[in-house]
Chains A and B, each alone.
Chain A
């Protein structure tokens, strides 16, 4: 809490109270407890009169305000001058989420332009945790950049640029976006978290980021930033030794990057998220050496490797040939039985597996193998993947209670001689030790 702010506000409040209560001992106004007593006094004196809310001590007011959404605070601020002053206390302006939506492209309301103006004028130096939610219109992305470029006298700790629909930052002229973003990079100096997925950020701007924030940066999420090169991200990894979380696309992942992240100077990495996206069918993907992954695991034994695959079936060639320390695996498109077989063989650290679809043949053996070899697996979700009921039950039996999440659509479970669909929920519930049902979509 900022004491200076409190003390600077107190006199005016006191004055008002004095004039109203006819009291003349300003010394009694020290500390919240005293103030509280004072506040109650009039009620006692005047019997039925309501308490004088204008005299709530600033600390208490602040505490209450912290739990109110902005709009409620704004209403409250119209009650009296004291509440209005409380409304502007820096503590209440550390976090702000700008929502930039256009009526033509979004159903949601936008942050009012007057509020934005007021924040820039009165509170920009208080902002520390800022995010921008931007709809699919270029206009909104531009508005976000406009605000960013006015944040010259603030020191942000976190910044998030979030496209809520189509990625609209990508439609801005790159230079425009970059110059706005670097305003923050240059002025902030102590950024710890930065989320800039789906933006035109580029290597030179990352260099500016590193030059100003290398000691503080802990989290960097930049999935699908096409203007960043492997060298650009390597520069970040080389110099930001406190980096704990990183999200990027596979094309930025290199052996060098993994080695840089596992260097002695570097703190242990906690999360690494890799999106493997195919830009054009038949794309060739490079491989990462097993030795580089091994170095990562040695350096950060507990790190989580999250991989999202959005590939065509025939693009999986280079993946899962060797052991890989992946912990969370998500297949967004159809994936073959063969690849899932390799997953079972080469992903000993696997904790979560989500398969959206596979080919036409049931996944029975693959699942059993995964249950056998992925000893940490605790969550699995299967979309359009047919599995026979008995293989599914066997899988659940092998994993047992460590399966905390188990999700499969009812229509992909193939009844067989052992279990019907009505029996399977009992059988699975038994092995899980809790009631379980397959997922169901409504039938019309």
Chain B
């Protein structure tokens, strides 16, 4: 077989994300010099229709596949939608189609990497050459990690700095054309439609009767049309809506016909094409100024989370996720259901959740609002639960970006300004004072006057009756008292962060790592090049010896970053008995071992370098079987399991 493959190249391009013909380097590789080309997509009907969950997402996907199929047909080719799991089916396909080359787009996400490694193995066993190309992200993410000293950057600022030191992304490639295909053909059997056709939504078991038309139609053609629209007569509006930094007030909450995020997620639109078009648009609208890096914020946040997740299979969990702070979230299925089903009794929250369920997209300020409400703001429910709901409902929920955003919104990682809590009443009112957004998605509240539309429970009875909506009967009462909930939650967050920072004073802000300090901390612990931000480090060396002591262990911190973060846990010291509150400013330093005991005896609150070194030696001498580094992983495990053992000094 390998002999025959030299004479005749038979290629398979495997679509996963990257559902497009433009800027698709792996697809071009598949076509290059081959005699046959088959483009496949694996679809496991098991995952679909079982319940009516995520219907918008499935519809979007099928529309993408339809579009891909019809574009391929224009090239005398077509799409093969294969029912089942790639690992089960590829070996058979390799034989049946005499495949000699398999191409696909690089998937940087841990699950994808694992799957691809398995397929690569199967391919090599079958003598199939595998070609993988990066095109779902702007850059090769491993390069970014490498530039940062082997660890993904932990702050967006740091990430921006790294990216701006790199060469710009590669320009997008031309779409696949008949010319590029040359003599390459796609063998299509007579029963292609039955075997490999794109299924219909109801074939997958979805109830399509009651389905509204798609607000976000899927597919590459739609994506490119939307992109072109930015260059139409309304460039300026397009610019404002999409690329000016969002303002707290007057942000468009409705789906825009210019929106692109779902297309990026499914890869109907190449992020590199978007990147270069954005530059072009900037130059068109802002004639003189050269674009600053913040222009690419949307793309770079996406890239940032992809990078952060690339080597972290537990990026979407709290337990065992080295970058996630452990917060003792409440497990409360009833409250979670109210949130997910738009029955919280807060019109602003419920309208957003309704829009999400109906259309599959919500504005990013709206995401902040509902995410904050579910987690640290009001309900104190785990971000993982919210992430799962978004995963089901939100069209642009890339695994990495979805998890990363939830980590940020819940102040579990990346963003830690936990005192910025969005009010479920005031925040919406600021953006849309008249409440038109609420009236659109919650018609039951349509007749409430603007004064009460965000807090209808405060409306007098006659107002409720006049609006034909009695709160508690026609629309639920608010499920929490926001003032009370935020009081409790802020206090819990404060305690958690206080424990992390080992700060013992009264200041709330001092427990919050500044976004910049984290850069310093992150870098110290990774032994990377000096960050561009050393002023503050200097100021702290001079005056805050206590804090410096905590930061000294740079080299040790390198191997113990995982351990620190595990240990961050929720072991909040119950209270600050020796609160050395002071006028001198406390600065946050990433503690080396925040979960460790604080010992009443011995004066110090942490063990000294020497002590710890000695301790490590003890471990090392333990016997030939256990080197000093080997038990580390176990140790982490234990520390995590270990629910006990915190103490506080008297």
A-side interface residues toward B, CB under 8 Å? 1, 50-51, 64, 66-67, 69-73, 75, 91, 94-97, 99, 101, 104-111, 115, 128-129, 131, 133, 135-136, 157-158, 160, 162-167, 192-193, 195, 197-198, 218-219, 221, 223-224, 245, 270-271, 273, 275, 277-278, 281, 304, 306, 308, 310-312, 327-328, 330, 332-334, 351-352, 354, 356-357, 360, 376, 378-381, 383-384, 386, 404-405, 407, 409-412, 421-422, 429, 433-437, 439-444
Contact = CB atoms under 8 A, between A and B. Distances in A.
Interface centre among B261, B508, B639 (most CB of A within 10 A): B508
Contacts of A107: 318-319, 328-329, 331, 382
Contacts of B409: 441
A278 B638 contact: no
A393 B190 CA distance: 72
Contact of A245 (B332, B532, B579, B650): B579
A162 B421 CA distance: 22
Given A273-B506, A411-B247, A439-B420, 10 more contacts: A157-B650, A162-B572, A164-B570, A277-B487, A352-B506, A352-B509, A409-B420, A421-B294, A435-B536, A440-B515
A157 B574 CA distance: 13
B644 A69 contact: yes
18 contacts: A50-B622, A71-B641, A75-B638, A97-B574, A108-B326, A128-B650, A131-B646, A133-B570, A158-B575, A165-B329, A165-B330, A221-B575, A383-B421, A384-B430, A407-B419, A422-B292, A435-B535, A440-B156
A404 B579 contact: no
Given A157-B650, A404-B587, A434-B539, A277 B641 contact: no
Contacts of A165: 328-330, 380
A373 B439 CA distance: 45
B506 A304 contact: yes
A442 B648 contact: no
Contacts of B396: 444
Interface residues of B, number: 109
B388 to A, nearest CB: 14
Given A51-B621, A245-B579, A444 B301 contact: yes
A95 B415 contact: no
B592 interface: no
B509 A421 contact: no
Nearest to B157: A437
Nearest to A334: B426
B642 A442 contact: no
B297 A443 contact: yes
Contact of A110 (B508, B643, B646): B643
Contacts of B508: 328, 330, 352, 354, 381
Nearest to A429: B535
Contacts of A96: 644, 647
Given A135-B330, A333-B483, A381-B509, A443 B298 contact: yes
Interface residue SS majority, chain B:
loop
A310 B487 contact: yes
Contacts of A312: 483
Contact of A407 (B292, B328, B417): B417
A167 to B, nearest CB: 7
Contact of B507 (A99, A281, A379, A409): A379
Nearest to B333: A104
Given A66-B599, A352-B508, A164 B492 contact: yes
A178 B116 CA distance: 60
B351 interface: no
Contact of A193 (B331, B577, B595): B577
A281 B368 CA distance: 26
B173 interface: no
Interface of B: 156-157, 245-249, 261, 292, 294, 297-298, 301-302, 304-305, 318-319, 326, 328-332, 364, 367-368, 380, 382, 396, 401, 404-405, 408-409, 414-415, 417, 419-423, 426-427, 430, 433, 458, 482-484, 486-488, 490-492, 495, 506-510, 512, 514-516, 532-533, 535-536, 539, 570-572, 574-575, 577, 579, 581, 583, 585-587, 595-597, 599-601, 607, 611, 615, 618, 621-623, 635, 638-639, 641-648, 650
B623 A50 contact: yes
Contacts of A384: 248, 420, 422-423, 426-427, 430
B509 A332 contact: no
B645 A97 contact: yes
Given A164-B492, A354-B419, A411-B247, A442 B618 contact: no
Interface centre among B298, B486, B488 (most CB of A within 10 A): B488
A356 B423 contact: yes
Q: 9 closest pairs, A vs B, by CB?
A: A95-B647, A404-B585, A160-B574, A165-B330, A164-B328, A71-B642, A70-B645, A131-B574, A405-B509
A411 B514 contact: no
Contacts of B535: 429, 433-435
Nearest to A136: B330
A166 B401 contact: no
A34 B376 CA distance: 56
Interface centre among B331, B536, B586 (most CB of A within 10 A): B331
Contacts of B458: 281
Contacts of A167: 488
A409 B618 CA distance: 48
A163 B487 CA distance: 13
Contact of B643 (A108, A354, A378): A108
B246 A411 contact: yes
A384 B156 CA distance: 21
Contacts of A115: 644
A111 B644 contact: yes
Interface centre among B305, B368, B419, B482 (most CB of A within 10 A): B419
A405 B483 contact: no
